[in-house]
Amino acid sequence: MGKTSVAAATAMRSAKMGYKTIAISTDQAHSLADSLDVPLSGQPKKIAENLYALEVDVLYEMEHRWQEIDKYVTEFLASQGIEGVTAKEMTVWPGMELMSALFYIWEYNETKEFDVIIVDTAPTGETLRLLSFPDVSDWWFDKIYKVMKNVTKLARATIGKVMSAPLPPDELFKDIDHIRDRMKVVKQILDDPKTTSIRLVVNPEKMVINETKRAYTYLSLYNLTVDSLIINRLLPEDGTGDYFKAKLTEQKKYMQIIDESFSPLKILKATLFSTELLGAESLERLSEMLFGGEDPTQVYTTEKALRIFVDEGVDTISIKLPFSHKEEVELYKSNDTLIVQVGWYKRSVALPYSLVKKEATKAEFKDGYLLVRFEGGESNGDKKKGRKGRGAS
C-alpha cells in the first residue's frame, strides 16, 4: 500500500523542518532500508541531518534488552535437548517485534532524545496487534501473571526439587515486571491524541479500502485516534488511452467509497510515480505532494470521528455527524457493514466481529454525534433498512 514510502517521506520532511526524527520499522519484511536506499540494523543509524532510522531486530533485542528472559528460555530448551542455533531461533516468540517497537516508544519518551518518532508498521493484522498490545498485556499481567508468579514460588519448594527443567528465577520475574510498568506508560502515550496520531494509507482499490476500513474500526475500538487518511498511488487525471480512461472511471468510484467510509478525516493525496520510489530525491517529491509547505508533524485532529463503546450495557457506535438532523437519518445493515445515510451524505462503517450478529435497534443525536445502539443476537444476514430517523431523539 506504499505505507513505508509514506513513512520515510514524512520522516524526511520532519527532519528537514528541524525536528530530530527517527523512523522505526516493525515490519518483518523491513523495506524501510530499501525505501531510504541505505542499510539499516537494530541500532539507530543517522541518515541525514536530524534524521535517524532503525529496523527492529528481535535477536538483538533479546541479547541487549531481555537477557534474563533469553537466559531462562535457552536453559529450558537445553534441558529438553535443544541447543545451538535451533535454541537461539526458538527463544524468539511471535510478536517480539511489536513489543520491541513499543519499548522504543517508551525509551525515547523517557530520554527525549527525539522530537518525532515515526513507526512504519507491519501489515494491518500485525499493526492492530501492536497497538492493542498495551491493553492485552495489562489484562494478562492482572489476571494471569500474578497467579503464575505465585505458583512458581510454590513449585520451587515442592516439585521443583525433582524436576529436570529449570523453573523461572526471580530475575526473570523482575524483567517481566519492568515490561508491565513500561506497557502502562506506553498505553498512556498511545491513548493521548495530542502526542500520538495514526495515519492510514490506502490505495483506490476495493480490497485495500475494505482492509483499511476494518483497521479504522478496530483502532477506534481500542480508543486510538486516526487523524488523517493518505490516499496513495492515484492516477493522474490527464491520463490518455482506453486503459487510463477505464482506470480513472474505476478510481472515481473508489474515491467516492473512500469519502463515504472516512469522512470527515483529513485527506492527503499522492499520485502514482512513473518509477519506483527509492532514495532521498523520490521521497522528497512524495513529501511535497503530501504536505506541500505544511508541517507533517502537526496533529490534524484530536477528536475521534468514530467510537465504539458500551453504554449502560448496550454496545454503541458513535459517529461524528455535524450539522445533521434526526429526520434525515436512515440506517442500513448489510452483513458486516453499517451504512448511515443522512440526506445526500452516506457513511459506511465496517463492524467489529462482536457486532456483526447484532441488530442496530436505536439511533439518537447527541452533541453532534449519532449514537447507534446494537442489541440482540443472531442476525439473519439480510440487508435491512431502518426507519428514517428510527429512535432518534
The verdict on 91 and 218 lying in the same domain is yes
Residue 155 predicted with pLDDT over 80? no
The verdict on 319 and 291 lying in the same domain is no
The verdict on 211 and 278 lying in the same domain is yes
Rounded Cα distance, 355 and 308, in Å:
10
Is residue 224 situated within a structural domain?
yes
Give me the mean pLDDT over the 16-30 stretch: 89
Give me the mean pLDDT over the 221-241 stretch: 82
More confident residue, 101 or 89: 101
- Number of structural domains in the chain: 2
Band the pLDDT of 142: cuts 50, 70, 90.
Answer: low
Residue 379 predicted with pLDDT over 50? no
The verdict on 235 and 379 lying in the same domain is no
The verdict on 230 and 323 lying in the same domain is no
Is residue 331 situated within a structural domain?
yes
SS (H, E, C) 147-207: HHHHHHHHHHHCHHHCCCCCCCCHHHHHHHHHHHHHHHHHHHHHHCCCCCCEEEEECCCHH
List the 266-271 sheet strands across, edge first: 198-202, 226-234, 266-271
Q: Among 302, 332, 362, where does a domain finish?
A: 302
Whether omega for the bond prior to residue 264 falls within 30 degrees of 0, making it cis, is yes
Show the cell assigned to 380. 439473519
Per-residue pLDDT tens for 103-115?
889 899 999 999 9
Residue 102 near residue 134 (C-beta atoms within 8 A): yes
The verdict on 190 and 327 lying in the same domain is no
More confident residue, 129 or 5: 5
Q: Among 241, 275, 302, where does a domain finish?
A: 302
Q: What's the confidence (pLDDT) of residue 188?
A: 87
Length of the chain: 393
The verdict on 296 and 325 lying in the same domain is no
CA angle 207, 211, 217 (to 5 degrees): 145
φ, ψ of residue 239 in degrees (nearest 5): -65, 145
Residue 160 predicted with pLDDT over 60? no
Rounded Cα distance, 232 and 335, in Å:
28
More confident residue, 361 or 300: 300
Residue 72 predicted with pLDDT over 50? no
Is residue 17 situated within a structural domain?
yes
Is residue 392 situated within a structural domain?
no
Element (H, E) at 311: strand 306-311
The number of CA neighbours under 13 Å toward the Cβ of 107 is 11
Alpha helices (H) in the chain, listed in sequence order: 3-16, 32-36, 58-64, 67-79, 84-90, 96-111, 124-140, 146-157, 170-191, 206-221, 241-262, 279-291, 353-356
Is residue 391 situated within a structural domain?
no
Residue 286 predicted with pLDDT over 70? yes
Residue 366 pairs with which residues in a beta bridge?
369
The verdict on 207 and 245 lying in the same domain is yes
More confident residue, 342 or 217: 217
Give me the mean pLDDT over the 362-379 stretch: 78
Q: What's the confidence (pLDDT) of residue 20?
A: 97
More confident residue, 175 or 195: 195
Contacts of 315 (CB under 8 A, 6+ apart): 308, 354, 355, 358, 373, 374, 375
Range of the domain at 328: 306-385
Is residue 171 situated within a structural domain?
yes
> Which of 183-197, 198-212, 229-243, 375-389 shows the highest mean pLDDT?
198-212
The verdict on 125 and 239 lying in the same domain is yes
How do 369-375 and 314-320 pair as beta strands?
Answer: antiparallel
Q: Rounded to an integer, what is the distance from CA 166 to the centroid of its chain?
A: 37
Residue 216 predicted with pLDDT over 70? yes
> How far is the CA of 269 from the CAs of 200, 230, 231, 232, 255, in angstroms?
12, 6, 5, 6, 11
> Which of 53-67, 158-172, 204-218, 238-252 shows the highest mean pLDDT?
204-218
The verdict on 92 and 205 lying in the same domain is yes
Is residue 94 situated within a structural domain?
yes
Residue 98: which CATH number? 3.40.50.300
Give me the mean pLDDT over the 87-101 stretch: 62
Is residue 362 situated within a structural domain?
yes
Residue 316: which CATH number? 2.60.40.790
The verdict on 89 and 117 lying in the same domain is yes
Q: Among 277, 302, 327, where does a domain finish?
A: 302
The verdict on 235 and 355 lying in the same domain is no
